[in-house]
Amino acid sequence: MTATATPAPIPTLQGLAEVADRYDLILCDVWGVLHDGQKAHEAAGEALIRFRGLPGARPRRVVLVSNAPRPGDGVGRILDRFGVPREAYDAILTSGDLTHDLIAARPGARIRHLGPERDLGIFQGLDLSLVPESEADLVVCTGLFDDRSETPDDYRPELERLAARGLTMICANPDLVVESGNRLIPCAGLLAAAYAEIGGPVVYAGKPHRPVYEAALAKGAALTGAPVDPARVLAIGDAIRTDIAGARGFGIASVLVARGIHAEELGVTAAHHRLGDVAEWLGRQAVHPDGVIERLVW
């Protein structure tokens, strides 16, 4: 009988500086890492600025990769408003950008949009019609109409009708929840999961799915003028299911930011200021990061 090998412990980093020299490109999550939905985490922006300024033969670049269901330039304006410095990153890639491309490949689509009006920017410039449920041939889900009071159960009757017709849903934000201050807000990923559960076909635009990483590395190559070695790429995020699983599936290194959506599970709520032993919690997860950091700092 062969003994089962004990998994190597996952290091807890005090700062990005401990590993920064190993990487040329960082794919950094936005919500939960650079801001909490209300204000910027100043130290996180400073850490990315320090990374971009590292000396060496290879330029260091940062691509923000967000599951936000809106175009990258719209996310940039939100970051400006929250106080995230433009010097912290080189480019932004969003689920909204990928959704825009998926819809563009279906000219003339009649779309049932599930989501708030603030997400309508992803449809700008496209050949489509936004129509009632009964007239649709495609569903695009960017979120809940009212993510402060609704749950996926409120949508079940409509989802069942759409699934019975076999309509494809494009999920423009695969996140299940995001952090907003001290609350967790439901996202489009919850509706997509409910739709898939009843047999509805779903196409996901964003993490943890491979196309977003291919697009992010292409952006990195365009920024540096040369292909990026995946071994020199680091993904940083606060969600095991999307950020860490996506990086692992694509074959790149990852660091989990503990004080994000998993904060309470990890015991780093506002009342607990130090990150404790997270090995037991990590051991219960289906995928594991290459490192853990309480907050993104240098």
H helices of the chain, in order, are 42-52, 72-82, 95-104, 156-164, 188-197, 210-224, 245-250, 263-266, 279-283
Alpha carbon 294 to its chain centroid, in Å, reads 18
Residues in CB range of 285: below 8 A, 6 or more apart:
240, 244
Q: What is the DSSP letter of 115?
A: S
Whether 235 and 253 have beta carbons less than 8 Å apart is answered as yes
Tokens of 213: 């990483």
pLDDT score for 87: 97
Q: One digit per residue, pLDDT tens: the chain, 298 residues? A: 444 444 578 888 999 999 999 999 999 999 889 998 888 999 999 999 999 999 988 899 999 999 988 889 989 999 999 999 999 999 999 999 999 999 999 999 999 999 999 899 889 999 999 999 999 999 999 999 987 888 889 999 999 999 999 999 999 999 887 666 567 778 899 999 999 999 999 999 999 999 999 999 999 999 999 999 999 999 999 999 899 999 999 999 999 998 777 777 776 655 555 566 677 778 888 889 999 998 999 9
Measured in degrees and rounded to the nearest 5, phi and psi for residue 17 equal -55, -25
Whether 235 and 27 have beta carbons less than 8 Å apart is answered as yes
pLDDT score for 1: 41
Strand 183-186 and strand 177-180: pairing? Answer: antiparallel
How far is residue 150's CA from residue 239's CA, in Å, rounded to a whole number? Answer: 22
pLDDT score for 182: 62
How far is residue 195's CA from residue 49's CA, in Å, rounded to a whole number? Answer: 41
pLDDT score for 257: 93
How far is residue 298's CA from residue 290's CA, in Å, rounded to a whole number? Answer: 17
pTM: 0.86
Residue 213: how many CA atoms within 13 Å on its side-chain side? 23
Q: What is the DSSP letter of 276?
A: -
Tokens of 252: 């790149």
Exposure class string for 93-109: b at 16+ Cβ within 10 A, else e: bbbbbbbbebbeebeeb
Whether 255 and 17 have beta carbons less than 8 Å apart is answered as no
E strand intervals along the chain: 12-13, 25-28, 61-66, 91-94, 109-114, 128-130, 138-141, 169-171, 177-180, 183-186, 202-204, 233-237, 253-257, 291-293
Cα dihedral value 134, 135, 136, 142, nearest 10: -70
pLDDT score for 2: 46
Whether 184 and 177 have beta carbons less than 8 Å apart is answered as yes
Question: Domains of the chain (ranges plus CATH)?
Answer: 12-96+230-293 (3.40.50.1000), 106-204 (3.40.50.1000)
